[in-house]
Amino acid sequence: MRVGYGRSVFERLLPIILGRDVSGEVVAVGSEVKSVCVGQQVFGALHPTAIRGTYTDYAILSQDEEASAIPFAALTAWRALNGTARITEGQRILVIGGGGAVGFSAIQFAVAAGCPVTTTCGSQSIERMLAAGAEQAVDYLSEDYELSIKGKFDAVLDTIGVAETERMGISFLKRGGHYMTLQGEAASLSDKLGLTLGLPAATVFLLKKQIQYRVVNGIEYSWIFMRADIEGLTEIRKLCEAGKMKIPVDKTFPITQVSEAHEAKDKRIVQGKVVLEFD
């Protein structure tokens, strides 16, 4: 967003406050809020289009968003596996990019649901993937890594979503399986063409791909967008409490160093999640 992603929505609303994930203490509630009370410790995630983000001392969330949870990344993974592919025990899942926050959440969801998981990740992430219960973790920088991936899958979550990973993901699906990418074109086409042309163009683009993949490969193709939903938050909280879901935090920055924190992610100096802390 800082470099212009989503400008078709956000440009006319500038200045906006960045940030989606939040944790802290409830200081006030609306008159109809029943699910949380003042003083309670909560985690949450704002909607992707929120303009008053969470890089602030005080954030405003709707009741749904307020339920305790590990937020944005886990909700995105939940939306893919449970909202779209509706995975069931025993189904085989391939997570492309398990080293990232969404991919790692997806692995933990799938393992908790009793699904065998294969993932691609950097060599430094392999041990973490296996410890989280993945059956196989393959280094995406090793030569011919695709040859090491065995069998076909019921669902593929592609957190990278470039042409190469899409081709690979599709080729590993069983007929009737789901390919899900996090890199839907709705925002990029709207940013390029403006909202009025961009959104219909994205819909046509998506429909064309869905029809093409259904006819040629017999698979379902979807773009995944994070949504805060109460069922997902509840499940995530349960898994966290049972120690079955963890998102490692790599580094903490004070809120006054937001730009340094972004730079550390942009330049890949820090691999995992970054947390901004308030005094």
Ligand X SMILES: NC(=O)c1ccc[n+]([C@@H]2O[C@H](COP(=O)([O-])OP(=O)(O)OC[C@H]3O[C@@H](n4cnc5c(N)ncnc54)[C@H](OP(=O)(O)O)[C@@H]3O)[C@@H](O)[C@H]2O)c1
Interface ranges with ligand X (CB under 6 A): 72-73, 76, 96-97, 99-103, 120-122, 125, 140, 159-160, 182, 224-226, 271
Question: The tokens of 149 are what?
Answer: 């991936």
Q: Choose between 97 and 177: whose C-beta lies nearer to ligand X.
A: 97
Closest distance to ligand X from the beta carbon of 15 (Å): 22
Q: Choose between 102 and 239: whose C-beta lies nearer to ligand X.
A: 102
**Phi then psi dihedrals of residue 248, to 5 deg:** -65, 135
Neighbours of 129 (CB within 10 A): 25
Q: Choose between 33 and 195: whose C-beta lies nearer to ligand X.
A: 195
Q: Is the dihedral of CA 8, 187, 66, 274 positive or negative?
A: negative
Closest distance to ligand X from the beta carbon of 193 (Å): 19
Q: Choose between 47 and 152: whose C-beta lies nearer to ligand X.
A: 47
Return the residue matching tokens 């990029």: 188
Closest distance to ligand X from the beta carbon of 90 (Å): 25
Name which of 176, 15, 158, 153 is nearest 92 in CA terms: 153
Q: Choose between 23 and 36: whose C-beta lies nearer to ligand X.
A: 23
Q: Choose between 54 and 159: whose C-beta lies nearer to ligand X.
A: 159
Q: Choose between 90 and 192: whose C-beta lies nearer to ligand X.
A: 192
Closest distance to ligand X from the beta carbon of 98 (Å): 7
Question: The tokens of 19 are what?
Answer: 């940030």
Closest distance to ligand X from the beta carbon of 127 (Å): 11
| CA-atom Rg of the chain in angstroms | 19
Closest distance to ligand X from the beta carbon of 102 (Å): 4
Closest distance to ligand X from the beta carbon of 163 (Å): 11
CA distance 64 to 37: 14
